[in-house]
Structure 1
Amino acid sequence: MGYWGTLLAARTHGELPAPLRDRDTDVRDDPDARRGDGWQVVSVADNLIADGAVLTSLTVETGAPVLAAYIADSDYGWLTGVSPTREPWQAWLDAPTAFVFERDHHVMTGMSRADADRRAREMRDGFGLTPAAAARRAVGWAAEAGYRVPARPIRQILATRRPPGLAAWLRLPWRRYVFAEEMFFNLLDRLGPPRVTA
């Protein structure tokens, strides 16, 4: 069973912001989540991507950008970047896997393969920007957070996908998949909030 929930990075200076206090929220303390410059990563059971008002209120309270991703069973995620003065941006964490899982779900419920393909394409195409466009917006997000970063590494992460079929099985078991949480933390590395080593 993989991770379900929202990973959220915000510059909270160690305090849990008011919009998160009444939610099922855990402060992450694993090595990937430990950040400097006042940044904190929390895990929230709810889908905060579906409630943009919470993310907007977090930027107002902290005066800084917020990055959040709702992760579906560690397989893929819906990513959103929100900042005080710029338009929010969204992107997939592994859009091809999101497509496959959505299509297979519809097939298992009795939908024809052609209809399932169409519905999954609509779902995938109806959310977020392309990796290149999202990377450009992410550079602006990072600038507002006080970091100067290049777009190319961000675009590469957003274009990452699981190796398909036999290619996955030829890898060592612990290297077969790129989990959506890993993508989130790798992206956070490229956006600037520094890791803190224990």
Structure 2
Amino acid sequence: MGNWGTLIAVRGAQELGTLRDLDAAVRSHDGAARGDGWRVYDVPENVLGQGPDPLLALVAASSSPVIAAYVADSDYGQVVAATPSGDQWGVWLARDTAYAFERDHNAMVGMARTTARRRARETIAAFGCPPDQAVRHAVNWAAEAGYTVPARPIRQLLRTGRRPGLAARLRPPSTRYVFAEEAYFDLLDRLGLPRAPDADAAA
């Protein structure tokens, strides 16, 4: 059984009322431990399904960018981000996996295969923006957070769902699967959010 719920990265937000309202808890995971004032919170529900208001409230209260991901059974996720300047964007994590799950679900409920594939494509297209467009937003998000980051590692992660770098491609196929929450933590790395010193030592 994989993980379900929403992960939210917020800077200096341990006392924010919105987090209390969401019943958020600090995520206990090496990849979630961050420095420079950042914390990753875990909410058992789909916060993104509530619309943009919760994230915008966190942006306003923290005066800092916020980025969240709804994780579906650790297989894929939906990322939504917002900044103090007003930029809001979304993108799939493991886009191809999300398409496959939607297609198979549609087929299981009785749709013809061609209809199942078409509906799945429509579902994927209806959320967020394509990976290449999301990369531009992501680099700007990082800049508002105070980090200068290259676009290429973010693009590879969003296009393929794999960790950037040759080492990831050389791993045996059976070990290449990346849980959606791990992909989210990898995205935080690519956005410049530093890992906490203790997490670096444990990695």
Query: What is the match of residue 26 of structure 1?
Result: 25
**Per-residue deviation, residues 1-29 of structure 1 (Å, max 9, x unmatched):** 0010011101025x142112022322113
Structure 2 Cα separation of the partners of residues 142 and 176 of structure 1? 27
**Per-residue deviation, residues 54-86 of structure 1 (Å, max 9, x unmatched):** 000000000000010101101111111111113
How many residues are treated as equivalent by the alignment?
189
Q: Where does 1:57-76 land on structure 2 (aligned, <5 Å)?
A: 57-76=57-76
Runs of 4+ in 1 over 2 A off after TM superposition: 170-173
TM-score, length-normalised on structure 2? Answer: 0.88
Paired amino acid for 1:187: L
Report SS of the residue matched to 2:30: coil
Q: Where does 1:69-88 land on structure 2 (aligned, <5 Å)?
A: 69-88=69-88
In the alignment, structure 1 segments of 5+ residues that lack a partner are 163-169
Report SS of the residue matched to 1:105: helix
Greater per-residue helix proportion = 2
Instruction: Report the alpha carbon displacement of residue 109 of structure 1 after superposing the two structures with TM.
Output: 1.0
Matched, 1:185 2:190: no
Instruction: Report the alpha carbon displacement of residue 47 of structure 1 after superposing the two structures with TM.
Output: 1.2
Instruction: Report the alpha carbon displacement of residue 161 of structure 1 after superposing the two structures with TM.
Output: 3.8
Instruction: Report the alpha carbon displacement of residue 126 of structure 1 after superposing the two structures with TM.
Output: 1.0
CA RMSD of aligned residues (A): 1.6
Q: CA, structure 1 residues 16+177, in 2 after alignment: closer, same or farther (shift >3 Å)?
A: farther
Structure 1 Cα separation of the partners of residues 109 and 57 of structure 2? 38
Structure 1 Cα separation of the partners of residues 86 and 53 of structure 2? 15
Query: What is the match of residue 123 of structure 2?
Result: 123
Query: What is the match of residue 34 of structure 2?
Result: 35
Query: What is the match of residue 171 of structure 1?
Result: 172
Report SS of the residue matched to 1:139: helix
Matched, 1:149 2:149: yes
Instruction: Report the alpha carbon displacement of residue 172 of structure 1 after superposing the two structures with TM.
Output: 6.2
Structure 1 Cα separation of the partners of residues 76 and 179 of structure 2? 7
TM-score, length-normalised on structure 1? Answer: 0.90
Structure 2 Cα separation of the partners of residues 152 and 171 of structure 1? 23
Structure 1 Cα separation of the partners of residues 45 and 18 of structure 2? 12
